[in-house]
Each structure stands twice: as structure tokens, then as C-alpha cells.
Amino acid sequence: MIDSLEVDKRGYPSDNILDSIRCLQFDGVEEAKRFMRSNFLRLASQLPYGTVRSEKIEDDPSDMQTEIVFATGGWSGCEDFINAVLENNTLRMFYYQWNRGGRHVFRVPIRTT
């Protein structure tokens, strides 16, 4: 699993790390959920621009989720990172919303009944 962000000499996410994110494979949905709640947050927070935050939401008591909001700040390195995440079909299943200005929202189920 990817734990730290490898950057090139200009500070951008390296092609190697972007390819690794695109090609990540998971042993089931639970592992993908754990990646989003920990590794994704850690990687996104290592980017020099943009912001990331997460919070638990409970719109419906039977459907608690972690909402992860990543804002690119318009920096192309953040755009490269989020595009690599969205090119991974497993991680894309958590993609909930995009807003103009580079605000990307993911919703990761905690539990469902």
C-alpha cells in the first residue's frame, strides 16, 4: 500500500506514484475503504497546495459515512493526483461530487444495515 507521496524535483507527485495510484488493486471493498480513510488522507495532506478534510456524516442512521473533501487549490500537481485517484475504478466508486473550482467529495460507507 502507498504510505507516502513521492515527488519529483519540482515538488509535483512523481509519475511513479501517480501510476501506482491508478493501478492499485484491493482485496475487497473493505480494504479500499481503509485506503480512502487513511492512505488517501495522508497522501493528499502531503501535497504542498490544496486541502483535505474528513468528517463522519449520518444523513440516515442506517447509512453512516466518512465524507472526504479534497480541494485542489487550482494547482496542477493536485489535479494530477486527483485524476490518478479517479482513474482507479475501485476508488472512483466512492466519488460523490465535484464542484467547479476543484472541490472533490468522496463518501466512504462506514456501515450499512
41 assigned to some structural domain? yes
Inside any domain, residue 32: yes
Query: What is d(CA 55, CA 45) in angstroms, rounded to the nearest whole number?
Result: 15
Phi, psi of 63 (to 5 degrees): -140, 70
**Which position has the grid cell 459515512?**
65
Q: Domain for residue 56, yes or no?
A: yes
Residues spanned by the domain of 70? 15-112
pLDDT > 90? residue 111: no
User: What single-letter amino acid sits at 71?
Assistant: A
- Give the chain's domain count: 1
> What pLDDT, on a 0 to 100 scale, did the predictor assign at position 58?
83
Q: Is 7 part of a structural domain of the chain?
A: no
Q: What is the mean pLDDT of residues 43-64?
A: 90
pLDDT beyond 80 at 88: yes
Report pLDDT for 74. Answer: 92
> Is residue 62 assigned to a domain?
yes
